[in-house]
């Protein structure tokens, strides 16, 4: 019976990974999460009573606590998703990004290395440290081409620079100390339980509430979208079958401009939640984000060929599921959008 230590399991992607592990495997899961504004245990309500699920409210920067968690739970693998993840927040306040994404990853790597060194030969060989990262480390693409695992790193935001730093630390811990690591770099995720500061949930909820739908610049920035459960399946596959020392790009082959994404949401809402006038009338173009990367697109050939992964959802089917979920889960939305988040929105978006 395997025990997987998952950091950031109360976040958007982490909670999807935890729910999938509990539902589809017999693994034991230890969720290590500080519960920042982005972490929400309500996203784990369906697994919280399962005897194979444990929660540790721990900051990954706290070396003593992280070491205790390794000692007490004796994991067979780590999946590291805890991070500060919102680009806009990294622009207005980069300090937390440096602390959690860089210092936190370093702290976790050191605890993992110390623990791994003490394992017997069999458990040592089977151990994995899986670092979950983003395609934003590669910078911005022009009209053509894709990010591959060989693309040079050119991060442009404090967020992507902090994630690039963490990727380099993970790589170094493999090459220097032999820690069996795998790294994945994924494109933009969307789906249920996504914190409503991100484009897709923000637009769904604003549209339902008759509020304006803010789009940066002309709305022509391009992102490659992947449904979160497809990402979670890819992560489980890489953890199980990925080669130590290798990196794998994960993407949905779904390039869309931001404007296309918002228009698609409006069209689904016109059907599922009609409000008289078309929802697209709420679209407003706002001043662009500083240093906004133009285009991201992932070449996911390696994970497809080496591990046989392919996404199950199309953008259309995943987006419809997502809109339906937000329409049906207003309690979750109300809980995560109260308190600290509202204060932050007031401070940062008051003039938009
Ligand atoms: P999220 O912001 O929804 O969740 C992050 C989680 O980490 C939260 O539960 C938070 O409480 C926790 N956390 C933050 N700081 C912590 C600390 N110091 N100690 C312990 N826990 C802490 O993020 P997400 O969107 O689920 O992303 C998860 C990972 O995937 C991140 O590493 C992110 O860089 C990466 N990623 C995200 C996307 C995306 O589209 N969301 C795409 C590619 C990669």
Q: Domain coordinates of the chain in residue numbers? A: 3-191+226-253+291-313
Nearest CA to ligand 1 atom 4: 11
79 lines ligand 1 (CB under 6 A): no
The predicted structure's pLDDT at residue 346: 64
The predicted structure's pLDDT at residue 345: 61
pLDDT band of residue 285 (cuts 50, 70, 90) is very high
Residue 178 CA to ligand 1 centre (angstroms): 26
Task: Decide if pLDDT at 352 tops 90.
Answer: no
Measure Cα distances from 48 to 3, 5, 17, 55, 63 in Å.
16, 15, 14, 8, 26
Q: What angle do CA 35, 85, 28 make, to 5 degrees?
A: 50
Arithmetic mean of pLDDT, 331-336: 89
Higher pLDDT, 93 or 292: 93
Residue 159 among the catalytic residues = yes
Residue 26 among the catalytic residues = no
Write down the pTM of the prediction. 0.95
The predicted structure's pLDDT at residue 337: 81
Arithmetic mean of pLDDT, 298-316: 97
The predicted structure's pLDDT at residue 341: 63
The predicted structure's pLDDT at residue 291: 83
Task: Decide if pLDDT at 349 tops 60.
Answer: no
The predicted structure's pLDDT at residue 197: 85
40 lines ligand 1 (CB under 6 A): no
16 lines ligand 1 (CB under 6 A): no
Task: Decide if pLDDT at 342 tops 70.
Answer: no
158 lines ligand 1 (CB under 6 A): no
Average pLDDT, the chain: 95
Whole-angstrom distance, CA of residue 26 vs CA of residue 49? 15
Q: What CATH class has 3-191+226-253+291-313?
A: alpha beta
In 3D space, the residue among 72, 42, 45, 43 whose CA is nearest the CA of residue 56 turns out to be 72
Per-residue pLDDT tens over the stretch 33-69: 999 999 999 999 999 999 999 999 999 999 999 999 9
Residue 193 among the catalytic residues = no
Arithmetic mean of pLDDT, 155-174: 98
Higher pLDDT, 343 or 156: 156
Distance of CA 57 to the CA centre of its chain: 19
In 3D space, the residue among 60, 53, 57 whose CA is nearest the CA of residue 19 turns out to be 53
Contact residues for 289 (Cβ-Cβ < 8 A; gap 6+)? 87, 88, 91, 216, 217
Task: Decide if pLDDT at 339 tops 70.
Answer: no
């Amino acid at each position: 019976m395997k025990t997987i230590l998952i950091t950031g399991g109360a976040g958007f992607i982490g909670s999807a990974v935890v729910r999938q592990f509990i539902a589809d495997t017999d693994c034991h899961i230890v969720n290590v999460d500080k519960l920042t504004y982005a972490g929400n245990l309500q996203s784990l309500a369906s697994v919280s009573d399962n005897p194979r699920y444990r929660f540790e409210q721990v900051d990954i920067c706290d070396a003593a606590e992280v070491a205790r968690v390794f000692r007490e739970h004796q994991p067979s693998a780590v999946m590291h998703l805890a991070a500060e993840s919102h680009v806009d927040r990294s622009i207005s306040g980069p300090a937390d990004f440096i602390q959690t994404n860089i210092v936190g990853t370093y702290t976790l790597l050191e605890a993992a290395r110390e623990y791994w060194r003490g394992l017997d030969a069999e458990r040592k060989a089977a151990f994995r440290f899986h670092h979950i990262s983003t395609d934003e480390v590669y910078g911005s693409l022009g009209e053509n081409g894709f990010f591959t695992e060989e693309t040079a790193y050119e991060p442009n935001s404090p967020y992507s620079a902090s994630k690039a730093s963490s990727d380099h630390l993970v790589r170094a811990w493999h090459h220097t100390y032999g820690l069996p690591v795998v790294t994945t770099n994924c494109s933009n995720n969307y789906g249920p339980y996504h914190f409503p500061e991100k484009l897709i949930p923000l637009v769904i909820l604003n549209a339902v509430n008759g509020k304006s739908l803010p789009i940066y610049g002309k709305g022509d920035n391009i992102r490659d979208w992947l449904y979160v459960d497809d990402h979670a399946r890819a992560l489980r596959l890489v953890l199980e079958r990925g080669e130590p020392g290798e990196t794998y790009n994960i993407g949905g082959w779904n390039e869309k401009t931001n404007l296309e994404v918002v228009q698609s949401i409006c069209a689904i809402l016109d059907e599922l939640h009609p409000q008289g006038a078309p929802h697209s009338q709420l679209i407003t173009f706002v001043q662009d984000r500083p240093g906004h990367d133009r285009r991201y697109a992932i070449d996911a050939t390696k994970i497809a060929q080496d591990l046989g992964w392919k996404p199950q959802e199309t953008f259309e089917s995943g987006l419809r599921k997502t809109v339906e979920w937000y329409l049906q889960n207003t309690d979750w939305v109300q809980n995560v959008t109260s308190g600290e988040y509202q204060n932050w929105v007031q401070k940062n978006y008051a003039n938009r």
